[in-house]
Structure formats: structure tokens, C-alpha cells
Amino acid sequence: MNSLKVQNGEVFDRNEIEFLNRSDFQDSVLNLLSNKYRMIGLFPIDKKYPNKIVSILSDSVSSSLYIIGCEFPVNKLEFESFANQFPQTNYFECELAENFGYKPVNHPWLRPVRKQNIILGNQPYQFFNIDGDEVHEVAVGPIHAGVIEPGHFRFQCHGELAYHLEINLGYQHRGVEALMLNASPNQRIILSESIAGDTVAGHTYAHCSTVESLTNTQVNLRAQVIRTIAEELERIAMHVSGLGGIANDIGFALPASAYGRLRTLVINSLALLCGSRFGRGLFVYGGVRFDFNDENLEQIKNNLEIVKKDISVINDFLFSSTGALIRFENTGVVSKDFAEKIGLVGTAARSSGIELDTRIHFPYGAYRYFPVSPITLSTGDVFARARLRALEVDESLRFIFDQLENLPEGKIASDVNELKINSGVISVVEGWRGEIVHSAFTDDEGKIIQYKIKDPSFNNWYGLSLALRKTAISDFPLCNKSFDLSYAGHDL
């Protein structure tokens, strides 16, 4: 095989990547995709040379990442689209086309990812629509009814049923990846905290890992444990908040308000540790900035004891309500087959029966020594996506209590060296939504020349579209909340 095999967070020499010609590249990528590998990246490793791209594929069975390079003739940035056979690559190809002018030939649905008024094919993009008697179109957004991020949704409906939902994003595009290249180290950390403000620990963890790998910095176990505790606190907070949102969307006020109260306890616990309710300021290169002390340790434990006790009562109340279950079950179903084809990740994938959890399949940090248990449900409906989050909260609480009882001794931050020259690294982290991928490449002066971010939402927005097929349009808010995706993380 002509690919470079690396592990999660393993530094490699950029020269180790073999840049194949187009037909060998196509064959190698197709070969790996046929073996059920998932695409997690498709981009040039140096923006100055957009004709040299890499495709990164992930194999969760062997916990390995495969990098396949390709050098295109400068005036012919064309390749045969993989998306007809493997729909999971569709959006990566759109992104490559949008950012660097590539033409994926025979692409089934070439559409803009973040930019407005961009022409990708031969003519300006038109929304997909269906024709027929009594068919109607519903347009929603970019500004939505609630306090929520912007996005445009187009429903093609017949009566109450939605037959097609097209999601058009990009309103949150702030240029994070471009800013990363010229930012100072302090700015880079703040930028990663702002990729998705609900996934501060997840994205900052991934970013710090890339830099620590590129600088060959060892992070002490105590710092690693504190990082994972922050990540799990974030998971609990957002899962609890999501469950509250789901209860709210079916008009079930009591559990909605009860989940809201518990979320406050969890994020205030993060503030006890680091001063910010979202974990901002906690991560530094080489470790963490804040440590537990007897006082905040006790307070955090007390908070979490209340959460542990109360959440089981609230979960029982919500999930034993017939009225709630009628709304949840068989609503917005994504089958395992579809989920695999479109490459779902994270909670959405696990709710559809796919065993995929970066903490287990590509273990990093403290998860290498203190594993979490895999949780998978099979029905792929709103019920599964809600129930899975309730179960993950229990597991995260178990994990945190275990760690708080046995905090390892040691320093919380190590010194950081210079960035290695001509190197690359791919760092994968399981944020609360799912797989976060950060890839970084340096030049011969040790300057970062490419920084690529993939939020789990990048994969999963297509899942929401599919879930709406033949679903009542009135169930859209419920389906949307059950996926709970990030606009900012997608738009960057």
C-alpha cells in the first residue's frame, strides 16, 4: 500500500507522505474505503501548493490513521468523485472544491459548504426541489425562533411530511483556520476555545495534543486526568442541557426545568476548577493551568453527588412518560446502514448501532489507562439519541468519581519545546458530540502552514437531513435537538 500509517497524535515527517499520481491515488483511496475505513480529512497540506493534497482515512478496528497523498497537475485539479459509491466522502469533496477550486467529476450533489454566492459547477447553486401537485416548500432561517445559532433550512413537503431537507450553513464562518496560521500560541488556544463554545474542552484538548506532539512534550498523568475530567464535565453538562432541550421541544416543562437546574451545578463545578463555566483558561500547552485543592474538590464532589442522585429521578420521569415516548420512538430514524454510508460519528452514530468512540477506539490521554465503557443503542430514532445521552451521563459520572478518588500526584504542566520542522500530526478526540479531528503541518522553519479542523457536526448535519425523510415537519425541532449539532463548529 502507498499510504502512511500513523496513530492518533503520532508525529510524522512530511516527507514520508508519498504523493501519488491521480489514478494511483484514486485506487488507494477506493481500496481503503471499500474496507470500511472512514474519511476524516481531504485537504492540501500547504496552502501554497493546493495541487498536493492528502486524504486521511481512519480505521477504528486497528486504531490507525492512513494518509494518502496525491499531486495533481497544477492546471487540472480534477478527480473522479468517490461520493457515488461512498456518500461519506461527499461533503469533504465539496469542501475541497469550495476552498481550492477542485472539480470532483460526476459528484452527485456538489454544493457550497460555507461560502455564499460561490459557483462550484457551471452555474450558481440552486436548492434541490421536488415537483408535483400539493408539494410545497418551507424555508426557515438563517435567524431562528430561539436563542440559537443561524442556519438556513429548506423543506420539501407533501402535506405534513417532509420528503427532503436541505441544510445551508456558513453564516457563522469567522475564518478560524486562516487565523490559526498567523496566531501566537496564546491566541491559538483562545481560538480553539472559540471553535464551538459548547465544546471548549474537546477542541482545546485536540489542539493542545497537536502542539504537544509537534513539540515532543510529555504531559504528566495528573494533568491528563484533569483534562479528561474537564472533558467529561463538559459532556455531562451538554448532555443534560440537550435532554432538557428535548423535553422542552415536546412541551414537557417539569423535566426541562429540572435538567436545566442540574446543568447549572455541572458548569459551576467547572468554574470551581478553572473560573470559567465552560472550562476556558484551563488548558495550556503541556498540561493544565488550574489544579484541584481540598476545597474545590469537596464542593465539586458535593455538586456531582446531587447530579447523580437527581438525574436518575428526572430520567425515570421523562423516559417512563407515555406522552414523551410516543414522540420519541420511531421519530427521525437513521438506520445503521445509512449511518455507515454517510459516515455519522459520535452520539448520533452510537444511537444507530455503530460502535465508534474515539475514547475507546483511538485512546488518548488518561483514557489509555482508565477506559470508559462503550454504550451503543440500535434504533437510530429520537428515543435512542436521547436515551444514549442519559446513559453516557451515568458513565461519565462514574468515570469522574473514580478519577477524583484516585488523583495521581505530580506537576500539572510541563515545559514546551519548539515545534518540529517539516512535520505533521493528526489528533483525534471524542468531544461530547463525537469525533473531533485537528491536523497540523509545519514548514522547514517550524511554522504551522496548515491547520485543519473537523468538528463532528461536519459529518452529522447530513444525518439530520436523512432523519427528516418522511417525518412530519412538526417533528423537526425535536429531531434537530436530538442531534444537537454545532453551527459554529461546522462553519469555523
Partner 1 sequence: MIDAIKLRILQRDSVIQDVSGASLPKLFRGLPVLEDKPCLDDCRKCAEVCPTGAIKLDPLEIDLGLCLFCPLCEEVCPEKIIHYTNNINLAVDKKEKLIITKETKSIAPEKASEKIRKYFGRSLKLRQISAGGCNGCELELNALSNVNFDMGRFGIEFVASPRHADGIVITGPITKNIANAVQICYDAVPNPKIIILFGACAISGGIFKDSEETNRKFLEQNKIDLFIPGSPPHPLTLINGLLDWLDKKG
**Interacting residues with partner 1 (CB under 8 A):** 114, 116, 142-143, 145-150, 170-175, 178-179, 184, 186-187, 190-191, 194-198, 200, 241, 254-255, 257-258, 260-261, 263-264, 268, 271-278, 280-281, 289-290, 296, 310, 313-314, 316-317, 320, 486-488
Phi and psi at 101, nearest 5°, equal 75, 20
Contact indicator for 336, 378 with CB cutoff of 8 Å: yes
CB of 16 to partner 1, least distance (A): 34
CB nearer to partner 1: pick between 31 and 194 = 194
CB of 341 to partner 1, least distance (A): 29
CB of 55 to partner 1, least distance (A): 26
CB nearer to partner 1: pick between 31 and 276 = 276
Query: 3-state class of 384 per DSSP?
Result: helix
- CA 297 → CA 20, 272, 399, 406, distances in Å? 54, 9, 15, 12
CB nearer to partner 1: pick between 59 and 310 = 310
CB of 345 to partner 1, least distance (A): 19
CB nearer to partner 1: pick between 435 and 455 = 455
Phi and psi at 266, nearest 5°, equal -70, -45
Across 281-357, the runs of DSSP E, i.e. the strands, are: 283-284, 287-288
CB of 105 to partner 1, least distance (A): 28
CB of 314 to partner 1, least distance (A): 6
CB of 187 to partner 1, least distance (A): 5
State CA 392 to chain mean position distance.
16
Please report which helix (H) or strand (E) contains residue 103, including its range. Answer: strand 103-105
CB count in 10 Å sphere of residue 465 = 18
409: its cell numbers: 500526584
CB of 336 to partner 1, least distance (A): 29
Contact indicator for 276, 254 with CB cutoff of 8 Å: no
Residues near 245 by beta carbon (within 8 Å), at least 6 away in sequence = 256, 481, 484
CB nearer to partner 1: pick between 155 and 252 = 252
CB of 175 to partner 1, least distance (A): 4
Rg of the chain taking only CA atoms, in angstroms: 22
219: its cell numbers: 504531559
CB nearer to partner 1: pick between 222 and 263 = 263
CB of 264 to partner 1, least distance (A): 5
CB nearer to partner 1: pick between 126 and 320 = 320
CB nearer to partner 1: pick between 281 and 446 = 281
Overall size of the chain counted in residues: 492
CB nearer to partner 1: pick between 191 and 211 = 191
Please report which helix (H) or strand (E) contains residue 140, including its range. Answer: strand 135-140
Tell which residue, 118, 117, 121, 99, has the closest CA to residue 109: 121
Q: What is the 3-state secondary structure (H, E, C) of 412-423?
A: CECCCCCCCCCE
CB nearer to partner 1: pick between 161 and 179 = 179
Burial class of residue 173 (count of CB atoms within 10 Å of its CB; 0-12, 13-18, 19+): middle
End-to-end CA distance of the chain: give it in Å, rounded.
Answer: 34
